[in-house]
């Protein structure tokens, strides 16, 4: 899958599940990603998207928690805050354009990226998310 689409899909999922009063919840990110794109993200997509977003300064990782930066929040609010209805795939498309623009104007950081959310954590969250449907 295209790296820009994956990064857009992931940051939209992180942004829409952020809640300052609660801890980061990976299951909610997975659920929003499924809602917005009707697909469950793979760990490779998650890992590569996260690495990309952190390198251009749109997401920060604090231990096992992920947050969008003020740069992203300010752009999103300017672009979408007064919209009555936002279509998920249209939003992802606009986010993709923003990511491409930021990548061209921002110095991407080269660093050794260590994902605090390991593949086993991700797979466990996927399984917990999918188990929600088995009980219905």
User: Phi first, then psi: what are they for 2, rounded to 5°?
Assistant: -60, 130
Of all residues in the chain, what percent carry a pLDDT higher than 90?
66
Entry pTM: 0.88
**pLDDT tens string 35-44:** 999 999 999 9
Largest Cα separation within the chain, whole Å, is 48
Read off the pLDDT band of 3 (50, 70, 90): very high
In the predicted model, is pLDDT for residue 6 greater than 60? yes
**pLDDT tens string 86-120:** 888 899 999 999 999 998 876 666 666 778 899 99
Could you list the beta-strand ranges (E) of the chain: 59-62, 65-68
In the predicted model, is pLDDT for residue 7 greater than 90? yes
What does the pLDDT average to over 125-135? 89
User: Phi first, then psi: what are they for 110, rounded to 5°?
Assistant: -95, 120
pLDDT, residue 20, reads 61
Could you list the beta-strand ranges (E) of 6-136: 59-62, 65-68
What does the pLDDT average to over 9-33? 87
């Amino acid at each position: 899958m295209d790296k820009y689409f994956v990064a857009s899909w992931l940051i939209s999922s992180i942004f829409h599940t952020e809640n300052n009063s609660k801890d980061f919840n990976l299951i909610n990110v997975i659920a929003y990603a499924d809602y917005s794109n009707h697909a469950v993200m793979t760990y490779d997509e998650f890992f590569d998207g996260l690495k990309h977003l952190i390198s251009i300064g749109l997401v920060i990782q604090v231990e096992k928690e992920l947050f969008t930066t003020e740069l992203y929040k300010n752009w999103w609010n300017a672009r979408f805050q007064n919209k009555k209805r936002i279509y998920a795939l249209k939003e992802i498309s606009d986010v993709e354009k923003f990511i491409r623009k930021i990548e061209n104007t921002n110095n991407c950081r080269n660093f050794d990226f260590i994902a605090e959310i390991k593949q086993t954590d991700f797979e466990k969250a996927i399984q917990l998310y999918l188990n929600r449907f088995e009980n219905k």
